Amino acid sequence: MIIEQRGYAPTHNLVSTEWVEDHLEDSNLRIIESNEDPLLYVSGHIPGAVEVDWTRDLNDPLRRDYVDSAGFQALCERIGITPDTTLVFYGDKSNWWAAYALWVFSLFGHRKCLLMDGGRLKWESEGRPTSRESATVAPTQYPRSERDDSAIRAFRSQVLDHVARSGKLIDVRSPQEFSGERLHMADYPNEGALRGGHIPHAKNIPWARAVNPNTGEFRSAEELRALYEEEAGLASTDDVIVYCRIGERSAHTWFALKHLLGYQNVRNYDGSWTEWGNSVGLPIER
């Protein structure tokens, strides 16, 4: 089903691989690849795409936080964008890391952030062009902008207040992590926690349920509503907090709720279970 027939919110910020190929020569558009596997970008990427690495480019090298305004400014100037540049993010693992990068760019107020449906796998499976040449971009001037954590990011104290108000939470981890049967995501033992379970009142909708496993494309709005509204009990007017283990999988769900279903108040708790499950005295349900 093409994107226009899926019933998303009018400002859905999702573009097709076909749209991206049609806009490869658009000088006001920058394509950004963000992957987990560090070899993938160099092994071949969409022609003209630049790489944003979630560890080196988006995270503070010392503190557990994202880059500051100077770091973000330097990144934007390196990849040759201005505040008016339209960004198209894509990557491996059904855009897991690409959605995370898009969310961080949104924290800094970059408004024109799009996600390419299906990500890298879909682009390749359709036989679209790739290149191993590093994109040559002219450095730009990008004004320094303060990161605004208030609208789409949640911190521990805010989540505690949210729980006290019986606010809506979506836990996008696996059912085993949600139930407390497992203290970490399968294969990610160093990102575990001392306690298992979930934040009180949270509903469990694993992030990958939002995509078609065969194509990597997002499910239709009707299918997403069945997941988040019928199954998890959300309403579009709710104040919602999403979380996983470090905030990257939940950035994918944040995108689905915020941009595809048009929810106005969705925040990503990037401290997530590695903070909550390791903190002293915080309430936990199993």
Work out which of 39, 62, 138, 280 binds another protein, going by CB under 8 A. Answer: 39
Residues 25 and 2: their CA atoms lie apart, in Å, by 23
Task: In angstroms, give the least distance from the CB of 271 to another protein.
Answer: 17
Task: Kindly tell me which residue out of 9, 24, 74, 121 binds another protein, with binding defined by CB under 8 A.
Answer: 121
When asked if residue 135 is in the footprint of another protein (CB under 8 A), the reply is no
- List 18, 56, 60, 148, residue binding another protein (CB under 8 A): 56
Q: Strand 203-204 relative to strand 29-33: parallel, antiparallel, unpaired? A: unpaired
45 binds another protein (CB under 8 A): no
- CB count within 10 Å of CB 20 equals 21
Nearer to another protein, 34 or 253 (CB): 34
Q: Which helix (H) or strand (E) holds 21?
A: helix 17-22
Q: Does residue number 38 form part of the binding site for another protein (CB under 8 A)? A: yes
Residues written for the chain: 286
Half-sphere exposure (Cβ direction) of 254: Cα atoms closer than 13 Å? 30
Q: Does 187 bind another protein (CB under 8 A)?
A: yes
Q: Which residue lies nearer to another protein by CB, 109 or 139? A: 139
Active site residue 76: no
Q: Work out which of 92, 171, 177, 270 binds another protein, going by CB under 8 A.
A: 92
Rounded to whole angstroms, the Cα distance separating 106 from 103 reads: 5
Q: Which is nearer to another protein, 173 or 258 (CB)?
A: 173
C-beta of 53 vs 229, nearer to another protein: 53
Strands 239-243 and 168-171: parallel
| Strands in the chain per DSSP E | 14-15, 29-33, 50-51, 86-90, 113-116, 168-171, 203-204, 239-243, 265-269
Nearest residue (CB) to another protein, 187 versus 222? 187
Q: Which of 185, 244, 246, 256 is catalytic?
A: 244
Q: In whole angstroms, give the CA distance from residue 39 to residue 168.
A: 38
Residues of the shown chain interacting with another protein in the complex, contacts defined by CB under 8 A: 36-40, 42-43, 53-56, 92-93, 120-121, 124, 134, 186-191
